[in-house]
């Protein structure tokens, strides 16, 4: 297992951030539980760095070294919303854990709840091991018609790969958190990694699908499949040493198509910086548009056929047929 010391030593410098401003915000369309694409205000809040130094994470780049000052998160939300068009749902993504008081002070909960009172769904990110009393403390401040959705990083149910991620998480930890959230009236969103370290392309597909199935078994309503990326220093070392390689775009297509066919919940392909996973510039734009449409409709489409694409190896091809 890669040590935390090595993970930290490999990091490039953090970005300069303002604790009183979200470092990014936008409104995007997402297929809602209704099956209709609806606008979602997504705020990338600036807050204290997550206490868990996960191997693959690069979200620390826009975090504070000290605890988040009281009042900063409400100010960030108010400022960001004043510059965004209306939306029905809001994501308070915080590069860490919403229910960790170092990241989001508990005394700010009432002000945050008041600022998001007009939204139907309030989506926050949190580590499964930090889903304690603060979840219910915040949920009680929301209106009865609002849904609190907690996004959890399951990543993978592959035991060796999960241990290698340095996430301080077991599959049982995730299951306990997800089921407790559902029992307390919260919705659960899960993040699944496609081809985390130690897996090859065929096993990356297989274990992403296994992980999605497990997340749905635990009560997840919606899942995002994230191609595992380099970009934080130590993952580049993994590529050089042979214990990590990024997945291919076709594997993401396979996982999305197969999991949607189960009709167990919404599944989204993470499309950020997607071109880096493509090996064919000719068909990439069409593949991207197809995935964008599937994300919004949750209906699969015929696969893209491209005569210029490199030939898949036999094992991967068997997983896509």
Torsion region of 277: left, alpha or beta (phi above 0 gives left; psi -120 to 50 gives alpha): alpha
3-state secondary structure at position 155: strand
Digit-coded pLDDT (tens) for 27-66: 999 999 999 999 999 999 999 999 999 999 999 999 999 9
C-beta separation of 283 from 309 below 8 A = yes
Q: Is the pLDDT of residue 136 over 90?
A: yes
Beta strand 266-269 pairing with 222-227: parallel
The percentage of the chain sitting over the pLDDT mark of 70, rounded to a whole number, equals: 96
Residue with tokens 């988040």: 68
Phi, psi of 296 (to 5 degrees): -80, -30
Residue with tokens 């139907």: 120
Question: Apex CA 220: angle with CA 213 and CA 260, to 5°?
Answer: 55
pLDDT of residue 311: 54
Q: Which two tokens stand for residue 190?
A: 């899960």
User: What is the DSSP code string of 218-247?
Assistant: TT-SEEEEEE----SSHHHHHHHHTS--PP
Q: Is the pLDDT of residue 309 over 90?
A: no
Average pLDDT, the chain: 95
**Which of 61-65, 193-197, 199-203, 306-310 shows the lowest per-residue confidence on average (mean pLDDT)?**
306-310
Beta strand 222-227 pairing with 89-93: unpaired
Phi, psi of 129 (to 5 degrees): -80, -5
- Per the model's pLDDT, the better-predicted residue between 318 and 308 turns out to be 308
Rg (CA), the chain: 19
For residues 65-84, average pLDDT:
97
Digit-coded pLDDT (tens) for 289-305: 999 999 999 999 999 99
Please report which confidence band the pLDDT of residue 316 belongs to, taking 50, 70 and 90 as the band edges. Answer: very low
Phi, psi of 79 (to 5 degrees): -65, -45
Q: How far is residue 321's CA from residue 304's CA, in Å, rounded to a whole number?
A: 13
Q: Which two tokens stand for residue 214?
A: 């497990």
Q: How far is residue 25's CA from residue 90's CA, in Å, rounded to a whole number?
A: 11
The CATH topology of domain 4-320 is TIM Barrel (3.20.20)
pLDDT of residue 188: 98
Residues contacting 82, CB < 8 A, separation 6+: none
pLDDT of residue 61: 95
pLDDT of residue 308: 82
For residues 248-255, average pLDDT:
97
Q: Is the pLDDT of residue 319 over 50?
A: no
For residues 117-140, average pLDDT:
97
CA distances from 155 to 31, 117, 251, 263 (A): 22, 31, 16, 21
Beta strands in 51-204 (DSSP E): 89-93, 121-125, 147-155, 187-194
For residues 179-204, average pLDDT:
98
Within 10 angstroms of residue 196's Cβ, the number of other Cβ atoms is: 25
Q: How far is residue 232's CA from residue 186's CA, in Å, rounded to a whole number?
A: 32
Q: Name which of 97, 153, 155, 156 is nearest 130 in CA terms.
A: 97
C-beta separation of 247 from 204 below 8 A = yes
Q: Is the pLDDT of residue 313 over 50?
A: no
pTM given for the model:
0.94
């Amino acid at each position: 297992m890669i040590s935390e010391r090595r993970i930290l030593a490999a990091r490039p410098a953090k970005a300069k951030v303002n604790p009183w401003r979200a470092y990014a915000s936008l409104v995007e369309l997402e297929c809602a539980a209704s099956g209709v694409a609806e606008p979602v205000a997504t705020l990338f809040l600036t807050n204290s760095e997550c206490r868990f130094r996960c191997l693959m994470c690069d979200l620390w780049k826009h975090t504070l070294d000290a605890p988040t000052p009281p009042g900063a998160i409400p100010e960030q939300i108010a400022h960001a919303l004043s510059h965004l068009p209306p939306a029905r749902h809001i994501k308070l993504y915080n590069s860490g854990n919403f229910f960790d008081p170092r990241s989001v002070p508990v005394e700010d909960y009432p002000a945050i709840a008041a600022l998001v009172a007009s939204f139907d769904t309030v989506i926050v990110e949190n580590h499964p091991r930090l889903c304690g009393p603060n979840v219910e403390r915040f949920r009680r401040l929301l209106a009865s018609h609002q849904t609190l959705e907690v996004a959890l990083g399951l990543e993978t149910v592959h035991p060796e790969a999960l241990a290698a991620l340095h996430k301080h998480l077991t599959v049982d930890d995730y299951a306990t958190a997800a089921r407790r959230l559902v029992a307390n009236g919260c919705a659960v969103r899960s993040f699944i990694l496609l081809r985390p370290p130690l897996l090859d392309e065929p096993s990356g597909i297989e274990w992403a699908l296994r992980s999605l199935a497990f997340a749905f078994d635990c009560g997840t309503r919606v899942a995002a499949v994230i191609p595992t990326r380099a970009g934080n220093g130590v993952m580049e070392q993994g590529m050089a040493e042979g214990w990590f390689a990024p997945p291919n775009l076709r594997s993401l297509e396979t996982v999305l198509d197969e999991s949607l066919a189960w009709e167990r919940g919404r599944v989204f392909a993470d499309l950020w910086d997607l071109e880096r996973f493509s090996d064919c510039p000719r068909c990439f734009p069409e593949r991207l548009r197809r995935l964008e449409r599937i994300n919004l409709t949750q209906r699969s489409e015929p696969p893209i056929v491209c005569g210029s694409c490199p030939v898949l190896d036999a094992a991967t091809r068997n997983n896509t047929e």
